Each structure stands twice: as structure tokens, then as C-alpha cells.
Amino acid sequence: MGRPFSVIAISLLFGLTAGSALASGEGMTVELADSQRVGLRGSAANVIVSDPAVADVAMVDSHSLLVIGRGYGATRVVVLDAVGRTLFDRRVTVVAANDGRVTVYRGAVASDFSCAQRCQTIAGAKDASTAGAAAAPAAAPTATP
């Protein structure tokens, strides 16, 4: 009689710790101006984003959400159910999408393009003088004989 009870208790304990591990798993990476869908193992009641300038969350339904990259950096996203249990707790890092991206420097002005079949100007891209980025490197000095 004691053995089945201990097996059930251990199973419950393992299930609770595995659920916590799933809720607070590894960090996730989202590209700037992109999103990733996340499924939840319960019904979300509260969503907390520590730095909304870096990432935002849009609820698809009570069991899934989209994490959206808003600005470069890292933030934490936490989702709780109605009784306060953690459904999702991850550090979200927003990075640049570099595939097919080209930056052309004309003096101190940088223009960003997205290139696949053809290159298109990236909407909302800032030039180096307004974004605070470094200007294009100067040409190497040439020696005169």
C-alpha cells in the first residue's frame, strides 16, 4: 500500500518540476521586426515584459502568443495563469536579421537594403548620422613615391 502512494507522489513531484523547467527554459532569440509564436500549457491571464522597447507580446488566444522583436537588446517575458502559476518565463534577445541585408555608405550616410532577387531599400532604416552609428571607414592612405 505504501509503495503505490510513493510512486504517485514521486510522479507528481517530477511532473511539477518538469513543468517548471518548461516554463523557465532557455532564452529565445527573435530577429528585429519579426515574431515567434509560443504555445502555452495553460490559459494565460497576465503577461509581463520587462522592457517593451526591446520586445512586445501579442496574444493569439489564451494558449498562444507572439513575441515580437521591437528593438535591439534583451528583456524578460513572463506569462502567468489566473492563479499565478508561471506558464512562460524566458529571456528574449532581439538581434539583427542579416540574411540578404546590405549597407551602402556614401560618405557619412548609410543606406540599408534588403537583397534577394533585387535590392530594395529597407523602410525605416536610418542613416549613420541619425542612428549614431559609425560612418564608413576612411580609405586607406596611399603612399606617394
pLDDT tens for 126-137 read 544 444 444 444
Domain's final residue, options 52, 80, 95: 95
Residues 77 and 109 in one domain: no
Count of domains in the chain? 2
CA distance 51 to 26: 18
Q: How confident is the model at residue 121 (pLDDT cuts 50, 70, 90)?
A: confident
Backbone φ/ψ region at 100: left (φ over 0), alpha (ψ -120 to 50), beta: left
pLDDT of residue 24: 56
**Whole-prediction pTM value?**
0.57
Write the CA distances from 99 to 31, 92, 127, integer angstroms: 11, 20, 20
Judged against a pLDDT cut of 80, whether residue 86 lies above it is answered with yes
Cell digits of residue 60 = 493569439
Across the range 83-105, mean pLDDT stands at 89
| Spatial contact of 71 and 102, defined as CB atoms under 8 Å apart | no
52 and 115 in a single domain? The answer is: no
107 located within any domain = yes
Q: What is the pLDDT of residue 136?
A: 47
The set of cell numbers assigned to 82 is: 489566473
Residue 108 domain boundaries: 101-130
The larger pLDDT score, comparing residue 13 to residue 59, is at 59
Instruction: Mark whether 44 and 105 lie in a shared domain.
Output: no
Task: Give pLDDT, residue 112.
Answer: 84
Q: Domain containing 51 — which CATH number?
A: 2.60.40.1380
User: Do both 65 and 89 map to the same domain?
Assistant: yes
Confidence at residue 96, expressed as pLDDT on a 0 to 100 scale:
82
**15-25 b/e (C-beta count within 10 Å ≥ 16 → b):** eeeeeeeebee
Residues 91, 28 share a domain:
yes
81 belongs to a structural domain: yes
Asked whether the predicted pLDDT for residue 106 surpasses 60, the reply is: yes
**pLDDT band, very low/low/confident/very high, at 19 (cuts 50, 70, 90):** very low
The grid coordinates of residue 139 equal: 580609405
Give the pLDDT band (50/70/90) at residue 25: low
Clarify whether residues 68 and 126 are in a common domain: no
Residue in this structure with the C-alpha cell 536579421, named with its chain if needed: 97
Residue 31 lies in a domain: yes
Residues 49 and 88 in one domain: yes
Find, among 12, 36, 30, the residue nearest to 96 by Cα.
Answer: 30
